[in-house]
A and B are shown apart, each in its own frame.
Chain A
Amino acid sequence: MKLLTHNMLSSNIKGVTNGFPLKIEAEKIIERPVEINPVFLKNMFAKLEWKPLVEASRTMGFSELPEDVPDMSVLDSDEFLQKFHHALLEIHLEEGALVCPETGRKFPVQKGIPNMMLHEDEV
């Protein structure tokens, strides 16, 4: 699972008002190189929640993203784009779990696929 997907996912257990961001418990992390696409990154930038992305990439062992929300001008620098791209699309959570911030419910991640199925009493 990419951090891009992590940044979009929220827990939708019944009664949870703010299921975002899910905490990451990483057991196995892999990196898969992908071709960089600056246009996509620029487009995506506005939709991302920056803080959760920085936090998530830290848990995954990549701490080169700036702490504070950078402004749009930074998107012109290749160095930043490279880091941004790496954090967003190249780091994959292979085994581990996602934890709902409100209820502490764990969604297991196996073989890179998060299991977001809810139990009957959570719907």
Chain B
Amino acid sequence: MEQRTITGAQSTAKDDRMEPRPFALLAELTYRCPLHCPYCSNPLQLAKYRNELDTSTWQRVLTEASALGVVQVHFSGGEPLVRPDVVELVATARAVDLYSNLSTGATTADPQILANLREAGLDALQISLLDAREAENDFFAGAPSFKQKQSAVRAARQLGFPITLNVVLHRQNLSRLQEIIDLAVTWQVDRLELAHVQYTGWAFQNRSALLPSRAQVESAEQIVANARERTGDHLQILHVLPDYFQEYPKTCLNGWGRTFLTVAPDGVVLPCQTAREIPQLCFPNVQDGSLETIWFHDPVFQRFRGTDWMPEPCRSCDRREIDYGGCRCQAFLLAGDPAVTDPVCRLSPHHHLVEHELQQAERASPDFAYRVMSGGEGLGQQ
């Protein structure tokens, strides 16, 4: 979540209450989803986590989150709308003074459920889109969904929802970036989030099919800059650049266990939604304790919190409190060790691994595998 201070520094009263406290909770209500996006951030072993928390446990989680200092909840999944209690949970979020966002793939977002969510107090709606063109969108999603997304945007607009259109960018849709922006203007959404793929989870598996060339990334920056000038204040465009192409790593979630936490469908509490793929770590469950106890005392939340855990080159780096060593999942996926500097950093001893991938990306890309819940793999065709 974005955080800024405006009109000068604010002197925040400090007392003996514990710090840091989280601002945002990602509530992954379910891993079930009608779509099969090849860059999904859900775990690869989806079928291992079929158990889902019941309504009253989620309500307890939301209440505890608010008491812990969380101000925003983001309902996500999988597809959160497949949960029959999603409206009830939104109402609970409202009752405990949480600002609520909900992300949907929109295939099940009929006008009635959107109206119910609005009435229950949902503050903002995010609708995913995979491409500007119907055939390509449906191909990447592995299911017909473009028309449903279009209808959902229309219905949500009539209900007065602020709408963010979320488009994940990769080498196979970047050539249509201008069309994507034009579509967001035509659909009259409030915000367009253009986020390049983060290479964890399914996206890591499909990396060679998704990683763009440097020329594509540079062209995207230009297109977005031009679009911002044209659309002005009417459409907010967020452009999240791919970290593989940066000199320094991203400030992943503002640092481990600093401002953000995730509760997975089965109740596992994570510093980030992809962290459960790190086999060296063991995560607590909301069924074993309160969020407050977990956040402040569970060893896994302490593990990479702050700067004490850092190895070189982070430990003596003057950016250590800017990027907090980058992404722990990426350190594990690329270097096999979650406790090393994010290899994206040009100072990392593992940086050559990223360089190698970037060189590969200058060549042709193979097919990708769809996100599936069973063990099987569907290969996308070019």
Judge: A and B partners, yes or no.
no
Residues on A facing B (Cβ under 8 Å): none
